[in-house]
Amino acid sequence: MSTEERPELRELRERLGRGSDEQRPEAVARRRKKGFRTARENLADLLGTGPFVEYGALAVAAQRQRRDYLELQRETPADGVITGIGEVNGEYFPREACRAALLVYDYSVLAGTQGFFHHAKIDRLLHVAAKQRLPVIMYTEGGGGRPGDTDVTTQIAGLNVDTFARWASLNTGMPRIVVNNGYCFAGNAALFGAGDIRIATRASNIGMAGPAMIEGGGLGSFRPDEIGPSETQCRNGVIDILVDDEADATAMARRVLWYFQGDLPPGGAQDQQPLREALPVDRRWSYPIRAIVERLFDEGSFTELRRVFGRSVVTGLARLGGRAVGVLASDCQQLGGAVDSDASDKASRFLNLCNRTGLPVISLVDTPGFMVGPDSESQAAVHRMSALFESAASLEVPILAVFLRKAYGLGAMALVGGSFAVPHFAAAWPTGEFGGMGLEGAVRLGYRKELEAVADLEERQALFDKLLGELYEKGKALEAAAHLEIDAVIDPADTREQLIHALYHGVTQ
């Protein structure tokens, strides 16, 4: 048998080599100068030791009419996006559970812009992901639509491209995870924004238009770094998880996918006894809800989403006895736990994510209800808070509720599926208190005449305190359970055990 390499195999090897980092030193140097990694470095880090089958590696920009073909192979490899099927988190799960569709934009190729074959590659991989019900991880760095693909002579505007509709409608029962570093404008931003879990580095700028489009629209001249900086997009909820750099972003993408790839052996947990003293004796004082979350779920398993947006509600992913769950929790250190319009949007989107991906929801409630008042109404409270009810009422996954303290009015109902009758298990700590509205407001409204009839201010306050105490006694968790408005009152130290039992004994069937 001849040991000489066949010419067609040599041609293939040389062709693939032209798009490698090794044969594109100038492009690599430009990335290094910015302190960034190459697309293939990010892909390799994401995969670890896992295999990768690349789709469309031989594509180049549709510009053969205006550029030398060999130049296109060297300068526009893969037409600016690496696509394929790889295995992620193989150290935790069987191979079949690790398969994921991976798309990595390559900013070193025409600034990561979207061209004809580029779109075709993405459409092909999304079609494969839909048929095989795969999760998707997409790196979105790039400048949006690309003019100059002169080989395409059968399009006018090219607005009949399938990519955006296919991406937005993709529902495989698995998450669409997006990762961004650097500039992400126009079409790239549309893909980022439609992701289920959105991770971005501090060096990100994300906007629905870049400088050229803004200036072309007569809206002024701006530098790219003035458009959609990460701090802004984090505060307004566009970014779910903000990280320092591409290495952190890639590690976070692996971690986030980890929640959706299957159950694991039960994880360890912190000592549960301190939960008995987690809430202050004085019901008016606040406490750090994240400390309770970290103690309640498997140790080190909680990952928070959209931390600085809609801050009166905490959302995140965790494991409970090895099983992945969604965590929804009131933060009484923000607005007293009142659910404002931003928190409603945040909770609604989170419940939709859990519903689409099959994660049970654990809701930890301590809220005086929805935020009210003229300022709240100016933020479209009626529409945005009602949308939370729609998401809650649409849940097909189990929701388990634990009422830590206050559970008042519509806001409390919305956080547990729209009604206290919806949760598969609804329990309260002994500190739980219930009412159609905040007790103080209920006294002022329901006993206005009696209070106004008392002229002396000290006597009026004494009457108010007496009426408030009576309402508190009526609304205590023990009474709510006695009237079957909730299922149980539990020792806080038993909460983890009770929830694990509920999850693993037929509740989710």
Domains observed in the chain: 7-259 (3.90.226.10), 273-432+476-506 (3.90.226.10)
Count Cα neighbours of 261 within 13 Å in the Cβ-side half-sphere: 23
- Give me the sign of the Cα torsion angle 425, 429, 435, 436: negative
Identify the pLDDT of residue 219. Answer: 86
For 450-478, what is the mean pLDDT? 78
* Alpha-carbon distances of 94 from 98, 251, 495, rounded to whole Å: 7, 20, 31
Identify the pLDDT of residue 345. Answer: 96
* CA neighbor of 292 nearest in space, from 280, 278, 282, 305: 278
Residue 480 contacts by C-beta under 8 Å, 6 or more apart in sequence?
428, 432, 434, 486
Identify the pLDDT of residue 354. Answer: 97
Average pLDDT, the chain: 91
Do the strands 488-489 and 425-428 form a parallel or antiparallel pair, or are they unpaired? parallel
Query: Three-state SS string across 148-181, please?
Result: CCCCCCCCCCCCCCCHHHHHHHCCCCCCEEEEEC
Maximal CA-CA distance, the chain: 110
Residue 506 pLDDT > 90: no
Read off the pLDDT band of 91 (50, 70, 90): very high
Identify the pLDDT of residue 63. Answer: 86
Read off the pLDDT band of 459 (50, 70, 90): confident
Token pair listed for 123? 């459409």
Identify the pLDDT of residue 437. Answer: 66
Count Cα neighbours of 464 within 13 Å in the Cβ-side half-sphere: 18
d(CA 140, CA 399): 33
For 384-406, what is the mean pLDDT? 94
Residue 190 pLDDT > 80: yes
For 28-44, what is the mean pLDDT? 96
Identify the pLDDT of residue 380. Answer: 85
Say what percent of the chain tops pLDDT 90: 71
Identify the pLDDT of residue 507. Answer: 47
- Which helix H or strand E contains 444, and what residues bound it? helix 439-446
d(CA 178, CA 402): 32
Residue 79 contacts by C-beta under 8 Å, 6 or more apart in sequence?
56, 59, 60, 61, 62, 109, 115, 116, 117, 118, 121
Task: Name the pTM for this structure.
Answer: 0.92
DSSP3 helix / strand / coil % (the chain, rounded to 5): 40, 20, 40
d(CA 120, CA 127): 11
Distance of CA 241 to the CA centre of its chain: 8
Residue 505 pLDDT > 70: no
Return the higher-pLDDT residue of 384 and 506.
384
Do the strands 323-330 and 313-320 form a parallel or antiparallel pair, or are they unpaired? antiparallel
Measured CA angle at 64 (ends 21, 71), to 5 deg? 30
Say what percent of the chain tops pLDDT 70: 96
Read off the pLDDT band of 508 (50, 70, 90): very low
